Amino acid sequence: MRIFITVPSAACRQLISRQRPVARRRPASGLLCLVASGLLWGTGGLTGTLLSRAAGLSAISVAAGRLTVGGLLIVAFLTVTGRRWPAGRAAWTRIIAVALLAALYQGCYFTAVSLTSVPLATLVTIGTAPVIVLAAERAAGRKAGRLALAAAGLALAGLGLLVGLPAGFGESAVLASAGMAVLAAGGFAAITLTCARPVPGLDDLTVTGFGFTLGGGALIPLAACTGGLSFRPGLAAFGLLIALGIGPTAVAYTLYFRGLRTAAASTAALLSLLEPLTGAVLAAFILGERLSATGIAGAVILAAAVILTVRADRGHPAGGHGSGEMAVPADGGAGGSNGVDRVGGDDGGDAEPGAPRQRLAQDHQADDGGQDRVHAHEEPEVTGWHPAQRG
């Protein structure tokens, strides 16, 4: 009795090779957008400080102003250029979510600042956000690699050394400020995780424009109740307000949302640590604030953490986050010889290791008249594909 082994036809082998996903590195454009957004955010502290001095605004009023002005400038740009406004429930749901989360993040952060100081609020907010994102990704089944965890540890250590722990505040004030800062971190982490899944047909510029316009409007009543909305008009004040709305707000967040399309959410959250690093450098050069030896060591560690984060993300195969696309061989058949042509058991080896493929094919042709067959009850296995991967 002869045993016939079914060999997939050339067309079937080509189909299988086309379907096999091939790991590729993430595109560098997403990382560049995230780095640029972090650097632009670093200019926001300096610009906001100068605006507060020139216009006599409180911190929460500066936050409301930057969101509102940045959002309105984008909406005006979209209108002038003839871009369509968002339409559909999914688009407006995302915009409203971004608006509420932005208002939560900014409002809680500046409330934490008012309770204690900028260093403590910055340390807790920016240091906690990456931890929340990493925990959320782990809960979703996406474990961080060793480089990402090492970068997170370095970033937290560097941030602590750079910012430092302020003294002279009561225990209740510190606890209340830390609680508000954790809420702010949760808002920023939620924005990061939400915008890591883009809505089809809704671009990043539109999300930023309409979301921040609504978010700034939601902060205005809070600013009026806490610090007032008195604005001392002047050329410098108006220039600083527009600069704050454009660079660290409209452009920075648009780049951040665009980078989230291809980079992991944890990578984006860690690269946001460029904000205090850039702010410290600008404060030293422009405002004359000197960094201590501890602060310089923290800045160096933060820079090392950023470099490690970039390396970790570039080494991660695309498809796990962001767009979720998988690469396939361009020729469709080049990868067919690496295991797809094999027949036999589960180990991927040939059923008869000593028998040439030509002989198996000839024996098969002798029985079915030259027609290749694939058993109907047996589907070819596509190697490398996992149901958890997003399409």
* Structural contact between residues 241 and 110, judged by C-beta atoms closer than 8 angstroms: no
- More confident of the two residues 318 and 243: 243
Strand (E) or helix (H) holding 167: none
For residue 333, CA distances in Å to 251, 317, 326 come to 43, 22, 17
State the pLDDT at residue 166: 67
- Which residues make beta-bridge pairs with 155? none
Q: Does the structure show a pLDDT above 80 at 384?
A: no
Q: What mean pLDDT do residues 365-385 have?
A: 41
Predicted confidence (pLDDT) at residue 73 exceeds the cutoff of 90: yes
More confident residue, 98 or 228: 98
Average pLDDT over residues 287-296: 78
Closest CA to 85 of 253, 250, 197, 201: 201
Work out the percent of the chain whose per-residue pLDDT is above 90.
Answer: 29
How high does pLDDT run on average in the chain? 76
Tens of pLDDT, residues 348-359: 333 444 444 444
User: What average pLDDT score do residues 54-58 get?
Assistant: 89
Residue 378 pLDDT exceeds 70: no
- Of these ranges, 45-59, 174-188, 224-238, the one predicted with the greatest mean pLDDT is 174-188
Alpha helices in 56-145 (DSSP H): 59-80, 89-115, 118-139
Torsion sign (Cα): 274, 275, 281, 286: positive
pLDDT tens per residue across span 157-208? 888 887 776 667 788 888 888 899 899 999 999 999 999 998 998 999 999 9
Q: What percent of the chain has pLDDT over 70?
A: 71
pTM above 0.75, yes or no: no
Q: Band the pLDDT of 345: cuts 50, 70, 90.
A: very low
Q: Is 211's pLDDT higher than 60? A: yes
Instruction: Quote the CA–CA distance of 110 and 117 in Å, as a whole number.
Output: 9
- Does the pLDDT of residue 237 top 70, yes or no? yes
CA 324 – CA 134 distance, rounded (Å):
18
**Is pLDDT at 100 greater than 90 in this prediction?**
yes
CA 144 from centroid of its chain's CA atoms: 14
Residue carrying the six token digits 């951040």: 256
pLDDT of residue 361 exceeding 90: no
Q: How far apart are the C-alpha atoms of 371 and 239, rounded to whole Å?
A: 77
Rounded-to-integer distance, Cα 310 and Cα 222, Å: 38
- List all residues 6 or more positions away from 8 whose beta carbon is below 8 Å from its beta carbon: 16, 340, 341, 372, 374, 380
Listed range (9-18, 141-150, 168-177, 311-320) with the worst mean pLDDT = 9-18
161-165, 191-195, 221-225, 282-286: least confidently modelled range = 161-165
The reported pLDDT for the residue numbered 347 is: 40
Q: What is the 3-state secondary structure (H, E, C) of 259-326?
A: HCCCCCHHHHHHHCCHHHHHHHHHHHHHCCCCCCHHHHHHHHHHHHHHHHHHHHHHCCECCCCCCCCC
Q: For residue 254, how many C-alpha atoms fall within 13 Å in the half-sphere facing its CB? A: 20
Top-confidence residue, 123 or 253? 253
Whole-angstrom Cα distance, residue 80 to residue 74? Answer: 10
The mean pLDDT of 288-294, rounded to a whole number, is 77
pLDDT at 337: 40
